[in-house]
Structure 1
């Protein structure tokens, strides 16, 4: 299993080579770039080039990118609408796909393997129209991503749309044999449970988001700081046929210093 970490832990900071050095020292074999403009401005060629040069000079892989959740520099706090590719309004869906395509263009310089995609927001509900919008969005994004060497992964979220049975219906109806799943362990723990979710999605899992919580809020704690049974979870995850990567996705609000992030990351990788 590839040991990776999401840059989400440093979302309050501009992503720069010094932070990538920290991940490398902690033992990361791969990095997931979190596409938020205030953190990693994927629309600025110089920022993309700076990170691309680091990856060319280091053995750490640019494993994946998390698609943007907001199009602004404030994560929506200034009123910008969320990036929602299945929004009922067509103009919102188009704007969302345009923003994700801007982020995907970074793959011209940074050869990440996967793009992690959110289908909807927590309050969105499942319906035939939701299925239709999901199919359309994935078809368009796949057509843009594949020539760049990037495959799409659907993340299970809290809410109705990305329950395991609905993800499977999307993949089956769209004949999306080249689109997989990023199993978010923390979200599964808050929803149907880690073991049932993993069991249903097992054959489609290509990556995983590893973080903990206490069963009440999506707090993105370090593994071991919540109530997830990690030995059981990791053993089951490693049985998935595609040998998914394990990507630590820790919350930036935990106020860990860079030194603490490095130490905790190294400890988690050693335990896994």
Structure 2
């Protein structure tokens, strides 16, 4: 498994080369950029250039990017609507896809392999309409991403739309042979269970989000600080046909220091035998 860290852990800070150095010191082979304007401003040429220069000068790969969840600088706290590509309102869907396309354009300056996409929000249910909107969104975003060398990965989040059986239906009905899954272990633990979720989605898994919780809410803790059986989970992930990357996605609210992130990330990679 490729050792990767998400910049989500530093979401309250502007991403800069000093923070990227933290990931390098931890032994990461790749980084997942979290596209949030107050953190990594994917609309700023200067910010993209600054981050891109660091990647060009270092062996660490810009592995993936997490698509924007909100279009503003406050993660929706100021009232901005969430980026939701399956929203019932067509105008909201169009706005959401346009925002994601802005983030995808980063690949022209910072090449990355995968874009991690959310289909809907936490309360979105499964219906013929949500299936149709998901198919349309993925087809549209795929057509934009492929010329940039980026493949789409859909994440299992806490809603009906991305339950394993529904993700399989979306990908099969759409004949999306080049779209895979980012298996979020923490979300799986809160849903059908990690082993069951991996078993159902195994052929499609290309990346994974690794974080822990205690089974009640999505805490994004360091692995080992919750109740996930990590030895079993990592073993199942490693047995997938295409061994996925292991992306540590730790919550910014834990307010880790650069020093603690480097130490804890290195310990987590060692714990997983990576």
Q: Give the TM-score normalised by structure 2.
A: 0.99
C-alpha separation between the residues in 2 aligned to 1:271 and 1:120?
33
Give the gaps of 5 or more residues in structure 1. Answer: none
Question: How much is the aligned-residue C-alpha RMSD, in angstroms?
Answer: 0.4
Q: Give CA-to-partner distance per residue, 1:102-158, whole Å, 9 cap, x none.
A: 000000011100000000001111001100000000000000000000000000011
Q: Give CA-to-partner distance per residue, 1:171-223, whole Å, 9 cap, x none.
A: 00000000000000000000110000000000000000000000001000000
- 1:166 is matched with 166
C-alpha separation between the residues in 2 aligned to 1:189 and 1:67?
22
The answer on 1:9 being equivalent to 2:15 is no
Q: Give the TM-score normalised by structure 1.
A: 1.00
Does the residue aligned with 2:221 lie in a helix, a strand or coil? coil
C-alpha separation between the residues in 2 aligned to 1:232 and 1:130?
33
Does the residue aligned with 1:225 lie in a helix, a strand or coil? coil
Does the residue aligned with 1:261 lie in a helix, a strand or coil? helix
- 1:84 is matched with 84
C-alpha separation between the residues in 2 aligned to 1:188 and 1:127?
21
- 2:63 is matched with 63
- 2:230 is matched with 230
- 1:259 is matched with 259
Runs of 4+ off more than 3 Å: none
Q: What displacement does 1:255 show?
A: 1.5
Does the residue aligned with 2:246 lie in a helix, a strand or coil? strand
C-alpha separation between the residues in 1 aligned to 2:73 and 2:262?
26
- 1:185 is matched with 185
- 2:125 is matched with 125
C-alpha separation between the residues in 2 aligned to 1:111 and 1:102?
14
Give the gaps of 5 or more residues in structure 2. Answer: none
Q: What displacement does 1:256 show?
A: 1.4
